[in-house]
Structures are given as structure tokens and as C-alpha cells.
Amino acid sequence: NTDAQDILLPGMSYTMYHSHFWTNWFADLNYGPASSCENSPAFKAVCESADKWIGMGVDGFRLDAVKHIYHNANSDENPTFLKKFYDHCNASFKSNGGKGEFYMVGEQYSSYNEVAPYYKGLPALFEFSFWWTLKDAINNGVGENFVATIQSYTKEYAKYRSDYIEATKLSNHDEDRTGNDLGRNSGKMKLAGAVLLTAGGQPFVYQGEELGYWGAKSNGDEYVRTPIMWKADGSSLASGKLSGKIDKSMLNAGMSVESQLEDENSVLSLYRRFGVLRDSYPALQSGSFDFCALASTSPSIAAWYRTEGNQRVLVLHNFGTGNASCSVINDKLDKLIGSNGSVTVKDKKVTLGALSSAIFLL
């Protein structure tokens, strides 16, 4: 019968469309086989919606849960679909007068080896493994392996896309807050922010991280989505006084924008200072991320170079909770352009206090 229609037997009723997330909030769309998905009405409708926003000036999208478009996350289906969608959006962007390439970042909540094949479809993907590696390094007080581990991830990405964009991040809404993972320790939270803003990739800051928020996902989704507290009395700009499902212990811990702006040692001040630093030096913005061999060092220290054109900077971080020293081989250390915590320089030797950072222009 070519006159297809839905059939409801007595006692039956619609509850939801098929959904991989088991909720009618996220009903799956029928794109058909990924190899020919561009021919489906669903794909055309989604592209039409994207074109509307691109036509209004939007120059990038964030895509949620990209491994769940098709159910087999490790097959080639999702990367195939994503490439077709990205290519359409990029062409639409350029036809609307856009300069450069359309930006599109995908959330593939998996380890780096499962994320890597998705670079066949998208130019940028959130870097969960970056955060997991950094979190363990900080909590264990060991920085010496950090660069090599991150480089092993990026080598995997380069197999699928030469111009990959490593969208680095700390925690996000699917995980416990960074503050939770780092024991609500402001020193560790500042170090995590300093590493994020001096490492390679294009960093994202999840709202509240720049204030040192904490919250456990197991308590409910709201606890990792707490609104920004703008005022010292615990109020938000948009909705007045904060209430409901939030960790109220944060309200009396100097967690507001107002209180942290007045404290040069706050988490927010670190993010602002290192954000300006990154924005001021092309090497920190878009330079290469290269291992730095030291003449002598402590296992707690991570060291790398960032290089863009003729500009080169040396980045040092002490992941330990005590003082640590290292000595460079040939670099001159007379231009300290950024620091956090305690930094002492004598000739070619640098001593970093607990959880401290130093950036030198070479």
C-alpha cells in the first residue's frame, strides 16, 4: 500500500518519537543512511534553519552530543553526516559574504581516540581528554608528562584533519564542576585556568569556572549550571537573588564578580589577567605547542614553548604543592611577561612556588 499512514490500535497512544536519550525532548530525526542523508527532508529542513541564522550574521555553531546523531558512535556515520552539514553551512556562510571559514565545534563526550575520527566531519571538537589529563596532573602534583600526553592526542587528531582546532576546556555541564574535582582549592583552580589559557588550542571557559564555582552533577543538573553571581549579596543580574538548587555555601565564599574584582588574588583576577596576556601575544593565541627540554627540573614542573612567526614564549607551571626549581639550557629569562604565585629568577634558574606559573618572552 503506497498510502502509508500511522496505525493506532485500541488502547494505544503516542508518547514520543524514537529517541536515543529516552525522552521526547530529544526526538531523533530520520535522516536516512548517512551516505545519502543530504537527500532527506529532515536534513534539508535542518539546513534551512541553519541558513536562517547564518543569513542574520551568525558565523559559528556549537553542536551538542554529536556522537548520538546516528546510534553507532564509533562508525563512520556521524562524521559523514557532520561533514555534509558543515560543508553546507560553510558554503552558505561564504555566499552570505562571510570571510574565512565557518566555525563549528562539536561536543563528543569521549576520550581523545574516539573523538579523533570526528575531525573528518568538523573543524573543532571539545577536548575532554585535555581536562581529564590536567585534573589528574594537578591532583597528583606531577607536571613533567603533561606536554607529551597532550601531544599524543593532537597527533591522533592530525591523522584526520591537518587544520584541526583543539577546543580545550576544563569541566562542562556534563561533569562535576572543576572546583569539585580540585577539592575547592582556589590555588589549584587558578593553576588550571592558567594552564588552559597558556596551552595550545582555542580555549573555552564554562560559565562560573572563572569564579571558582563548585557543584556535583549527582546532586542534580542545576548544581553544575549555577547562574553567575554578580553582586556580593549573592544576587544575579538577570533574576535577582539566587535561590533553589544551588550550593548555598558558595554564596558566602566570595564567589561573586563584585567581590572577586576587588581581590587581585581571586580566581576571576587570574582569568582576566591571563586572558589579556593570551590576547596580547600571538604566540599564546595561535602558536605551536612544543615540549621544552630543561637542563634540570622537578617532576612537578610542566614546561613548553609557544611559537608564532618570530615570537616565542616559554611557559612554566608548577603542579606541586611545594616549591620547585628548574634550569633552562639556552634561553634568556629577562622578560617575565606573566606570572601567578611566587616566581624567582636567578640566571637560568627559575624557582616556582606551590601551584605557580611563569611566562617568559624569549
Q: Which residues are catalytic?
A: 64, 107
Q: Residue 13: CB partners within 8 Å, gap ≥ 6?
A: none
**Cα 327 to the chain's mean position, in Å?**
31
Q: What is the DSSP string of 77-101?
A: HHHHHHHHHHHHHHHHHHHTT--S-
Q: Residue 304: CB partners within 8 Å, gap ≥ 6?
A: 147, 199, 289, 290, 291, 292, 314, 315
Helices (H), the chain: 41-55, 77-95, 112-115, 128-140, 146-158, 178-181, 186-198, 257-261, 267-280, 282-286
Grid cell of 309 as nine digits = 612567526
Beta bridge partners, 316, equal: 303, 358
d(CA 129, CA 111) in angstroms, rounded, equals: 6
d(CA 226, CA 216) in angstroms, rounded, equals: 11
CA distances from residue 338 to 96, 167, 270, 272 in whole angstroms, order as listed: 41, 23, 10, 12
Q: Are strands 103-106 and 124-127 parallel, antiparallel or unpaired?
A: parallel
d(CA 208, CA 58) in angstroms, rounded, equals: 25
Query: Residue 2 corresponds to which amino acid?
Result: T
Name the helix (H) or strand (E) containing 325.
strand 324-327
Residue position matching grid coordinates 558512535? 73
Q: Residue 36: CB partners within 8 Å, gap ≥ 6?
A: none
d(CA 27, CA 17) in angstroms, rounded, equals: 5
